[in-house]
Amino acid sequence: MRKPKPYDHTDPRPPSRSQKKRDSAALQVLGGKLAELPDSALKRLDLAPRLEEAIREYKKLTKHEAKRRQLQFIGALMRESDTDPLARAVEDMEAGNRSQAREFHAVEAQRAALLSGDESGLEDMVALAPETERAEIRSRIRMLVRNAKAEAEKNKPPRSSRTLFRLLRDLRATGGAGPALDARQDGEDWQDGEEPDDDGYDAADAADPADAADESPRKVTF
């Protein structure tokens, strides 16, 4: 994200019209990114009261033209603020989100490989866990893969596939010490090698927003 270039007050020449336009556009972009932050994050940035109020008003608007005019107003107010800390805060947030998105796609690729029958990376995954837990984790991953395939064949909600995603995610994040590595989770009651029991499913499983959120990259907040 381009930071607005500060005006050099030691330069006797006034800033050019094109420089003013570039700076104004950069401030509006930064203001728009600040408006994407949750209210709790805005409070921690210690914004000038008028600027914070303007950003909150922007969030309430729905019409494009009204939002455009409000964003111009926010840009004008930001000329009175030190924008460097604000730009750094936004950059930190975006960097964190990019990192989480990369991790999400890496876990997704591992799960897809396992579900396709490719175990070439399985031992590397298992090696992340403490040595005493590796056999159990290897067995559980294979069990979840079998159950996920059975669910797909029977057009059942992908309960085991979601659990497998969380297990792989937590394994990468905690080295085998995460809660997803418990012997039983999400009401799971199948034995190794068994197919899922039809009684274990409900239409709500497929539409559970908490499950869907578990497989989404998490946005960084302050």
The pTM for the full model equals 0.51
The identity of residue 117, as a single letter, is G
pLDDT of residue 159: 92
Half-sphere exposure of 124 (CA within 13 A, CB side): 7
Across residues 182-188, what is the average pLDDT? 44
pLDDT in tens, 112-124: 999 999 999 999 9
Across residues 17-44, what is the average pLDDT? 79
Both tokens assigned to 136: 């159990």
> For all residues of the chain together, what is the average pLDDT?
75
Across residues 98-107, what is the average pLDDT? 85
Where exactly does CATH 1.10.60 map onto the chain? 17-81
> In this model, does residue 38 exceed pLDDT 60?
yes
DSSP secondary structure, the chain, as one string: -PPPPPP-TT-SSPPPHHHHHHHHHHHHHHHHHHHTS-HHHHHHTT--HHHHHHHHHHHH--SHHHHHHHHHHHHHHHTTS-HHHHHHHHHHHHHHHHHHHHHHHHHHHHHHHHHTT--TTHHHHHTTS-GGGHHHHHHHHHHHHHHHHHHHHTT---HHHHHHHHHHHHHHHHTT-SGGGSSS-TT--PPTTPPPPGGG--HHHHT-HHHHHHTSPPPP--
pLDDT of residue 140: 94
Q: Out of 1.10.3860, 3.30.40, 1.10.3470, 1.10.60, which CATH number does the structure's domain 17-81 have?
A: 1.10.60
46 Rama class: left (phi>0) / alpha (psi -120 to 50) / beta: left
Nearest CA among 67, 69, 83, 86 for reference residue 23: 83
Across residues 127-153, what is the average pLDDT? 93
What is the C-alpha separation between 193 and 161, in angstroms, rounded? 16
